[in-house]
Structure 1
Amino acid sequence: MSVHLPPLPPVGGETTGPNVADVIAREHRELLALAEQLAAGGADAARGRTLAQVVVAAVSRHLSAEEQYVYPAVRAVVFDGDDLVEREITEDRAMLEALRLLEAAPEDERAERAADVLRRLRRHADAAAAELMPLLVRMASVEDLIRLGNRVETAKEAAPTRPHPGTPATPPWNKVVDPAVAIVDKVRDVVGRRTTYPKDL
């Protein structure tokens, strides 16, 4: 069954790149490592604050990209995909609220808030690994999986860097609202000298 996406220009005569399951699995490993580091504590106040900023930004970008491309693909090709996606969107909204609380937490509450984010992130990653990704890989073509991987990577760069639990979680509105909100987020990041990428830690 095909996933309905606009075509990407081929590279070398074929669509190339990692498939979406590999992209998502890699991101989940990276996000879990960051969240585990933050939840473990032990860093000085400035380092802990910066690490929290990066966790919040990285997870916010990741959820936005999944909601724009992965979840619609699951809805399109997986039996009972609507139910699976609605469950994940509900969990994503709770995760965004947890991220909001983490970013606002004073230093003495940061570890507790980070532990909550880590717990939610583990559930999110486990659901993807055990259910969503295997079903999607089974039902979508190899080319569609690669195209979805490319879309997810691209969407992250135009995604919000702060949690916005109240914004739309489904297309077409999230594909309009998220990039617009992201512009404001990125201006605030620059003005506030906020660190948002793991490579800048």
Structure 2
Amino acid sequence: MGHGGNVIQELTTDHREVEEIFGKIEMLPPGSKERKDLADQATIELVRHSIAEEAYLYPAVREHIQGGDALADKELEDHAKAEQIMKDLEGCQADDPRFDTLMTQLMSEIRSHVTDEEQNLFPRLEAACTPDALMDLGDKVRRAKKTAPTRPHPSAPDTPPLNKLLAPGAGMVDRLRDAMSGRGKES
């Protein structure tokens, strides 16, 4: 969840961890209960990651990158699509006929989003910000991930200040639900 380094290093490490989970899902046979457990783990990581990006990365993109508003808006649209897919996936078991379709959609959406961030957004942010600013953003992202929700909330605000105010409360409720249900615990 928290890896250290600047914001780009932190988020890139998150990307690799989620891709590793996706790879494990793809290797398992359809209908395997472990696929659902891994999908839940991916969702937890993706939601935390998205909340942190929405709270700190995209405002920095708007502030520091020329044309940053359009860039941040596109990333938020990507998040909204992925979050709705995760919400739909939340209600499916691995043997549900919709599970594989939704999982394929989610992996495609996330892989496209990651490629865009790593090839377009991150280099532009790195060029526009000082190393200290990038390190400070990394610290903020790590703190945000610690209190972020673990479940998709498609109707929740995705821009400051409301997202920063509401996310910790939703995160607390989500973590309580996860603890009670065992969701997100590795087998």
- Establish whether TM, by shorter chain, passes 0.5: yes
Equivalent in the alignment of 1:120: 109
Aligned partner of 1:153: which letter? Answer: R
**Cα offsets for 1:110-145 (capped at 9, x unmatched):** 222111110011011011111111111000110010
**Measured at CA, do residues 110 and 39 of structure 1 come closer, stay the same or move farther in structure 2, by a change above 3 Å?**
farther
> Which 10-residue stretch deviates more, 26-35 or 90-99?
26-35
- Aligned-pair identity (%): 31
Aligned partner of 2:84: which letter? Answer: E
**Distance (Å, rounded) in 2 between the aligned partners of 1:87 and 1:36:** 26
Aligned partner of 1:30: which letter? Answer: E
Q: Which of 100, 111, 133 pairs up with 2:122?
A: 133
Equivalent in the alignment of 1:157: 146
Aligned partner of 1:150: which letter? Answer: D
* TM-aligned CA deviation for residue 49 of structure 1: 2.0
Structure-to-structure mapping, 1:97-112, within 5 angstroms? 97-106=84-93, 107-108=95-96, 109-112=98-101
**Cα offsets for 1:78-133 (capped at 9, x unmatched):** 00000000111011011000111122123233222111110011011011111111
CA contact (8 A) 1:105 1:113 kept: no
**Residue 18 (structure 1) aligned with residue 23 (structure 2):** no
* TM-aligned CA deviation for residue 44 of structure 1: 6.4
CA contact (8 A) 1:19 1:147 kept: yes
What SS is found at the alignment partner of 1:67?
helix
* TM-aligned CA deviation for residue 195 of structure 1: 1.4
Equivalent in the alignment of 1:90: 77
Unmatched runs of 5 consecutive residues or more in structure 1: 1-16
Aligned partner of 1:165: which letter? Answer: P
Equivalent in the alignment of 1:171: 160
- The count of residues paired between Structure 1 and Structure 2 equals 182
Aligned partner of 1:22: which letter? Answer: Q
CA contact (8 A) 1:160 1:185 kept: yes
CA contact (8 A) 1:39 1:112 kept: no
What SS is found at the alignment partner of 1:115?
helix
Equivalent in the alignment of 1:12: none
* TM-aligned CA deviation for residue 43 of structure 1: 7.0
Which one has a bigger Cα radius of gyration? 1
**Distance (Å, rounded) in 1 between the aligned partners of 2:110 and 2:46:** 9
**Measured at CA, do residues 157 and 43 of structure 1 come closer, stay the same or move farther in structure 2, by a change above 3 Å?**
farther
For normalisation by structure 1, the TM-score amounts to: 0.85
Unmatched runs of 5 consecutive residues or more in structure 2: none
CA contact (8 A) 1:39 1:118 kept: no
Aligned partner of 2:18: which letter? Answer: L
**Distance (Å, rounded) in 2 between the aligned partners of 1:34 and 1:122:** 12
**Measured at CA, do residues 102 and 40 of structure 1 come closer, stay the same or move farther in structure 2, by a change above 3 Å?**
farther
Q: Which of 10, 13, 29 pairs up with 1:42?
A: 29
Equivalent in the alignment of 2:17: 30
**Distance (Å, rounded) in 2 between the aligned partners of 1:70 and 1:39:** 30
